[in-house]
Amino acid sequence: MKIVKREIPVIGISTEIDIPGRISVKRKYVDAVLQAGGIPFILPFTDNVQILQSVVSSIDGLLLTGGGDISPVIYGESTLPECGECCRDRDDFDYALLRLASERQIPVLGICRGMQIINTYFGGTLYQDLPAQYPSEINHRSPDAFMILQHNVRCLRTGKLYSVTGKESLQVSSIHHQAVKKLACGFKASAFADDGVIESIESDSEHIWGVQFHPELQAVEGDEAMKKLFVYFISQARTLLC
């Protein structure tokens, strides 16, 4: 049997399991990957390690998506009243995906909750609720669930966001009330909101990185800087095909 070499990288996309009886992925994650030249692969939720190993061995990059709050128990803290609803099954699922992806050293991009998963997995902690623990004039999440706020992000010249977009500042879509508190060892912060909240982290090895904002929302609407983030991520995954 002839083996056909894959030419387009496959990007595994983590799923939400917050709604009973469903697994789901917001379409704009899928569209952003397609637009950047990758093949989106919706990852099935399972706690079967062998199946997960097989699934992760078949992808060239991992996209950890946004969603609900991460259980503070995972990073050794008691749950504050302001912490939102958590799903430990999803926490465990995302951790398993990240462990397998990091073992294979495939590129990983975390968005919003996904960046927080990366930080806590590698030993960092989170602010469970920014208004309660980090008061600021910047509102990182609107009380209206259907309204997406935008605010400025400052990119360090030494970081990935600047090197990919060429911009020292970006207007980003913000839908979060948790954020990185203690940064994980082996990572650096490379972008900040004007109030000091960390908006992007990257590993010293450079293949694992995350953003606190939602670039997929702007990328699919034609924002050139946000499109570049996904093109770069797909190019990272494409190197595994060589």
Strands, E assignment, 78-145: 108-111, 126-127
Judge contact between 114 and 65, C-beta under 8 A: yes
CA dihedral 118, 119, 124, 129 (to 10 degrees): -120
Residue 85 known to be catalytic: no
Q: Which DSSP letter does residue 228 get?
A: H
For 149, the 3-state DSSP assignment is strand
* Catalytic pick among 16, 83, 112, 207: 112
The two three-digit tokens of residue 146, written as one number: 């259907």
Residue 168 known to be catalytic: no
Nearest to 240 by CA among 43, 11, 2: 11
Residue 216 known to be catalytic: yes
The CA-to-CA distance between both ends of the chain, in Å, stands at 21
Nearest to 30 by CA among 15, 17, 45, 18: 15
Hunting for tokens 């990366």 — which residue is that?
Answer: 118
The two three-digit tokens of residue 47, written as one number: 């706690």
Report the residue count for the chain.
242
Hunting for tokens 């995350």 — which residue is that?
Answer: 210
Active site residues: 112, 214, 216
